[in-house]
Amino acid sequence: MIIEKIVTNIESLDKDEVGTRHIEKIYLESADLVKRIQRVTTDHGKEIGIRLKDQRDLVAGDILFMDDTNIIMIDVLSDDLIVISPRSLKEMGTIAHQLGNRHLPAQFEDNEMLVQYDYLVEELLNQLEIPYKREERKVKQAFRHIGHSHG
């Protein structure tokens, strides 16, 4: 089976639409969400080729196939993350500036800033006394570097 487009996302379906369909999952590392062409295997051992025509990243919950009885969807493996919880706008500005200078991609959930684990970032947070915790967590989308140069 070769998948060329995303059907929808599981979050856009109501419970009646999901109904009693059997759900197979494809577990990807968050870095693989940006790959438009790849060969993957479902949690039931079914091999699938992905060759997306759209210029779009995969997202957790994307449904690649759906019929009356089955759904094949994307799920994401947990990442080793630093979850930063600044106490003030000043702390947020300070750490955002520091991480931006290093071109580290970040994601935001509620009042938390998420970055992939890096011991240098951990040392910086300790030095700046900004609260954080290290945890395994699933992210819905890939950490994407923004193209930029200082030239």
- Tell me: domain 2-76, CATH 3.40.190.10, correct? no
Q: How confident is the model over 120-130, as pLDDT tens digits?
A: 999 999 999 99
Of 139, 5, 129, the C-alpha closest to 81 is 139
Name the pLDDT band for 148 (thresholds 50, 70, 90).
very low
Of 115, 119, 87, the C-alpha closest to 100 is 115
- Tell me: domain 79-137, CATH 3.40.50.300, correct? no
Phi-psi group of 30: left, alpha or beta (phi > 0 → left; psi -120 to 50 → alpha; rest → beta): alpha
Residue 7 to residues 4, 68, 73, 84, Cα–Cα distance (Å): 10, 13, 10, 34
* Euclidean distance between the first and the last CA atom of the chain, given in angstroms as a whole number: 45
Q: How confident is the model over 80-135, as pLDDT tens digits?
A: 999 999 999 999 999 999 998 888 888 898 889 999 999 999 999 999 999 999 99
Q: Please indicate whether the domains covering 2-76 and 79-137 agree at the CATH topology level.
A: no
Percent of the chain whose predicted confidence (pLDDT) is above 70? 95
pLDDT at residue 101, as a whole number: 87
Q: How confident is the model over 20-78, as pLDDT tens digits?
A: 899 999 999 998 998 989 999 999 999 999 999 988 889 999 999 999 999 999 999 99
Contact 65, 25 (CB under 8 A): no
pLDDT at residue 149, as a whole number: 46
Residue linked to tokens 């520091």: 98
pLDDT at 146 over 60: no
Residue linked to tokens 């487009």: 5
Every domain of the chain and the residues it spans? 2-76, 79-137
Burial tier of 98 (Cβ tally within 10 Å: 0-12, 13-18, 19+): middle
pLDDT at residue 76, as a whole number: 93
pLDDT at 145 over 70: no
Looking at per-residue pLDDT, the higher value among 141 and 89 belongs to 89
Contact 138, 76 (CB under 8 A): yes
pLDDT at residue 10, as a whole number: 92
Contact 91, 76 (CB under 8 A): no
